[in-house]
Structure 1
Amino acid sequence: MTAFYHVCFVVPDIEQAMQDFQRAAGVEWSDPVSDRLGEWDYRIVFTTGGPPFIELIEGPSGSPWDASTGARFDHIGFWTSDVRQGSQRLEEEGMPVDFSGCPYGRPFAYHRMDSVGTRIELVDVSRQSSFLSRWNPDGKPMPAIDEPSRS
C-alpha cells in the first residue's frame, strides 16, 4: 500500500521556506495558493514532481496551521477511501482527532500521534483528482491507505 503522499510544515513565511527548501534540497515548487477554511485565511503550496510531496502552509494565529511560535513539522498525509471510518479507526488506536475539515465541507482530518510528536492527516481519495490536477497534473493516481495498490 502506498497511500502516503506528503509531509507538511507549518511556516510563518511561505516564500522564505520555499527558497530555503529549494536551496537546501533542490526542490521545485508550484505557485502558492490562497484559500479560506471557516474563519481562517491561509496560503498553501506543494512541491512539483510527484509523491511524496512537501507541503507548506502559512496560517494565521489560532488556526490549525498557527506558526506564531515558529515553523514546525506538522503532519504526514495519507489518502483514505472514507475519512469518517479512517478517523474512527485512528481514534480507536489512541490517536484522537485534533482538527476536522469535514464540518467545513472539506473531507480531511488531523489526528494526534503523540509518540512521534506530529499529526496524521487523512484526506478522502475523492479529492485526489482535483489535487493532482492542481499540484501534479502529469502524475498518476495514488491508492488510499485502506485499498490495494494500483499497478
Structure 2
Amino acid sequence: MVPDIERAMRDFRRSAGVEWSDPVSDRMGGWDYRIVFSRGGPPFIELITGPAGSPWDASQGARFDHIGFWSSDVGQASRRLEKEGMPVDFSGCPYGRPFAYHRVDSIGARVEFVDVSRQAAFLDGWHPGGEPMPALDENSRG
C-alpha cells in the first residue's frame, strides 16, 4: 500500500529495475483506488493506493501489506484460515470481487486469496501471453 503510486513505481524502478504496467483506476463499494502490477511475470509486485478508511489505506505511510495466492475456492480457503486463527480482514466477495484478505499477525501482513477463475483476465490485462499459475488449495498445502 502506497500513498503515491507514481513515486513508488519510480523508486522501485530506480532501486530494483522493476518495470510497470500502466496504473488502473477502479472503484469498489464507496472507495476509489488505483492499482498497478509489475511487468515480467511472476512473482508480480502490486502497488495500490486508496483513501483513508479503505482496505488500501496508506494514509499512515507506505507498507508491505499482503502476499496473494490463487485459490480454487476462496470461501473454503477463507474458512480454513479462520479456523487457524487468521481472521478475514476484508472480503471483496460482497462487492462481486472474488478475493479475501486475512490478517496473519505472525508475519505482520495479510494473505490474499483470489479466485483462480480471474487468472485468465489478470494475465490478459497485466501479463499478456503469460503462463497460468497454480492455485493454492487444500490439496496443495505444504
**What's the TM-score bracket when you normalise by the shorter of the two chains?**
over 0.9
Q: Name the CA distance, whole Å, in 2 between partners of 1:80 and 1:147.
A: 9
| Structure 1 residue 68: Cα displacement | 0.5
> TM-score scaled by structure 2?
0.96
| Structure richer in strand, relative to its length | 1
Question: What 5-or-longer segments of structure 1 have no aligned partner?
Answer: 1-9
Which amino acid in 1 is paired with 2:75?
A: R
Which amino acid in 2 is paired with 1:145?
A: L
Q: Name the CA distance, whole Å, in 2 between partners of 1:145 and 1:117.
A: 21
| Structure 1 residue 147: Cα displacement | 7.3
Question: What 5-or-longer segments of structure 2 have no aligned partner?
Answer: none
Q: What does residue range 101-116 of structure 1 map to in structure 2 within 5 Å? A: 101-116=92-107
- Per the alignment, residue 45 of structure 2 pairs with 54
| Structure richer in helix, relative to its length | 2
Asked whether 1:29 is paired with 2:20, we answer yes
Provide the aligned C-alpha RMSD in A: 1.1
CA offsets, 1:49-88, max 9 Å, x none? 1000000001001100000100000000000000000000
Q: Could you tell me the percent identity over the aligned residues?
A: 78
| Structure 1 residue 138: Cα displacement | 1.9
Q: What does residue range 1-151 of structure 1 map to in structure 2 within 5 Å? A: 10-146=1-137
Q: Name the CA distance, whole Å, in 2 between partners of 1:148 and 1:30.
A: 33
Q: Write out the 4+ residue segments of structure 1 that deviate beyond 3 Å after TM superposition.
A: none
Distance verdict in 2 for CA 1:148–1:95, change over 3 Å: closer
Distance verdict in 2 for CA 1:148–1:85, change over 3 Å: closer
- Classify the secondary structure of the residue corresponding to 2:45: strand
- Classify the secondary structure of the residue corresponding to 1:143: coil
CA offsets, 1:35-58, max 9 Å, x none? 001000000000001000000001
- Classify the secondary structure of the residue corresponding to 2:69: strand
Q: How many residues align?
A: 140
